[in-house]
Chains A and B, each alone.
Chain A
């Protein structure tokens, strides 16, 4: 067995290991090839929404603007077709009333969606595994749906006037022809 460890071989080995670590970092942390490790310093709760909009895994969960947790999983309930959002709440916030209202808001006009909690008045607190029902949630405001609704209203307002104007035009055309003849 050779025992002369040359500085060349050691440094080339370190170089290889560094490159492998970089590849691992790019694979796991940057491209999210697998779900990244989650530090379990908190408790999980789940909620139902009719629509989560652009909410993503690792989106923030805030209360009064302070970040208290992260979204860990978004899935579809196969029976009700509602979205089920699992969240990890930091252990420091153990005393959140279990009738709190959960809503999905947007940061700015074009920003990311995030989950907001408004404290309720119950004496019972949220704990590991508690689920908030659909009545307690406000779904995401989807901008496209709002625009569609707004345009639909505009069209409804515009329709009565257009139905009035339509019968007038055929009347004008015959009179135009009469002038010619």
Chain B
């Protein structure tokens, strides 16, 4: 009787220890992956650029990451601005406050919509392309042949793409903001007849350059770093098969959208929430 009790107690303790070990294992795996991405980024960032070549590769990537994303950014921002103008006007005119349309459009764009929607579109357009490109390079063993030739693929392939993504997202979201504000202006002032002076005047009195515009730019720099980081890492660490590349591309879009939305909350809390 006594022995049976001891046996049962021992089994319970053992299963508890097993559960603990499982938690520990998954934590270690997560930390290991996180550390790997950190070491990877360190190698990417630390590499000293060789002047003419690096600049040329950076310009090439600015073209494929930034310029080619321009059309989707401009088109969607124009329509987002127009929708904001339309929705804002119908709600504000109910309270007889349609003069406040300018500040509504400008503040919501500069603080939130510009950086966030810009980053989401960027993840879909440029991030997925980066992952697929690097993944395909890995699958066709271009990366290992570079390594065989004594060229570091992190420096040659990943670094210019990362810097190009980091630089182009803030620029894209600046263009996004400007175009969207003009879209809202077109709908609100030219079409719905809000007073033009009140539109710009209220906007200028409410929007502060440092606390609104500069904080929006900081947000989009952070988003640009996170989105390109996720996409190049997913490309490098993808399984080199057709299926693996597809999965890595999906992961890029999902992870970077989630990261952008979650980080946005914390950045907003720090910047505007007086945390």
List the interface of chain A (C-beta within 8 A of B): 8-9, 11-12, 14-16, 18-19, 21-23, 25-27, 29-33, 36, 56-60, 67, 70, 107-112
Assess the B178–A112 pair: CB atoms within 8 A.
no
- Interchain CB contact under 8 A, B204 and A111: no
Interface of chain B: mostly helix, strand, loop or mixed: helix
B175 within 8 A of A: yes
Q: Is the CB of B178 within 8 A of A107?
A: no
Measured CB to CB, the closest approach of chain B to A6, in angstroms, equals 9
Q: How far apart sit A109 and B178, CA to CA, in the bound complex (Å)?
A: 32
Bound: A33/B212 CA distance, A:
12
B99 interfacial by beta-carbon distance below 8 Å? yes
User: Of B60, B178, B204, B209, which one neighbours A22 at CB under 8 angstroms?
Assistant: B178
- Of all A-B residue pairs in the complex, the 5 with the closest CB atoms, nearest first, are A32-B204, A58-B201, A19-B171, A108-B96, A22-B178
Interface of B toward A, CB cutoff 8 Å = 59-60, 62-63, 66-67, 70, 95-97, 99, 106, 110, 168, 170-172, 174-175, 177-179, 181, 195, 197-198, 200-205, 207-209, 212-213
Q: Which residues of A contact B97 (CB under 8 A)?
A: 108, 110-111
For A67, the chain B residues whose CB sits under 8 A away are 195, 197
Closest to B170 in A: A19
Contacts of A11 in B (CB 8 A): 63, 67
Kindly provide the distance from the CB of A45 to the nearest chain B CB, expressed in whole angstroms. 17
Known A21-B178, A25-B178, A111-B97; judge A30-B204 contact (CB<8 A).
yes
Contacts of A27 in B (CB 8 A): 209, 213
Other-chain contact of B174, A14, A23, A29, A32 (Cβ < 8 Å): A23
Measured between beta carbons, the chain B residues less than 8 angstroms from A36 are: 200, 204
Q: Which residue of B lies closest to A35 (CB)?
A: B204
Min CB distance B210 to A, Å, is 9
Residue ID in chain A nearest B195 by CB atoms:
A60
A residues in contact with B213, CB < 8 Å: 26-27, 30-31
Q: Which residues of A are found within 8 Å of B202, using beta-carbon distances?
A: 56, 112
Question: Please, how many angstroms separate the alpha-carbon atoms of A32 and B213 in the complex?
Answer: 11
Query: Which of A16, A31, A33, A111 is in CB contact (< 8 Å) with B99?
Result: A111
Q: Which residues of B contact A111 (CB under 8 A)?
A: 96-97, 99
User: Are B110 and A30 in touch, CB under 8 angstroms?
Assistant: yes
CB distance from B180 to the nearest CB of A (A): 10
Most buried by A among B195, B197, B209, B213: B197
| Given A22-B174, A25-B178, CB of A8 within 8 Å of CB of B63 | yes
Expressed in whole angstroms, the Cα–Cα distance for A11 and B171 within the complex equals 14
A-B contact list, 7 entries, CB within 8 Å: A9-B59, A15-B168, A30-B213, A56-B201, A56-B202, A108-B97, A111-B99
